[in-house]
């Protein structure tokens, strides 16, 4: 092969790899799934913790299902909730919820399929979907 042709093919391969790297990663779905489980678990721990501020009882429920379209509104409501700002665990949870929301609406938007829009389903714990993968 001609040296210039070989260099051109190498350049094309490099550019293709760069384009693929900038697209949504193949692990986008698994990242969203694991983050939603992590948030739900943290929320449950917060609810059962004895030494946390009483305002925690008033927080919007955070049982997440990324296949439920209502999860977007649920995350928005939780992040915007005005109380409990002095509780470190709540602020950390709000930060994770904000991250998940951002990932859902931007990076992973085209990878997700919402199977339902049952908002009431997000008010109760989802025990069967929390099991370890």
**Which pLDDT tens digits describe the chain residue by residue (133 residues)?**
566 767 666 666 666 555 555 555 457 888 899 999 999 999 999 988 887 788 888 889 888 999 999 999 999 999 999 988 888 999 999 999 999 999 999 888 777 778 888 998 888 876 544 444 3
Residues with Cβ within 8 Å of 55's Cβ and at least 6 positions away in sequence, in order, are 83, 84, 87, 90
Query: Is the overall model pTM greater than 0.75, yes or no?
Result: no
């Amino acid at each position: 092969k001609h040296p210039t042709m070989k260099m051109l093919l190498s350049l094309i391969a490099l550019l293709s790899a760069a384009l693929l790297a900038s697209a949504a990663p193949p692990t986008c779905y698994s990242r969203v799934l694991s983050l939603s489980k992590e948030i739900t678990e943290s929320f449950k721990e917060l609810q059962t913790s004895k030494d946390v501020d009483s305002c925690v009882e008033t927080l919007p429920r955070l049982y997440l299902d990324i296949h439920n379209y209502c999860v977007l509104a649920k995350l928005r409501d939780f992040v915007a909730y005005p109380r409990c700002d002095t509780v470190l665990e709540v602020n950390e949870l709000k930060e994770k919820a904000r991250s998940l929301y951002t990932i859902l609406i931007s990076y992973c938007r085209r990878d997700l399929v919402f199977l339902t829009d049952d908002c009431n389903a997000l008010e109760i714990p989802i025990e069967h979907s929390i099991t370890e993968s």
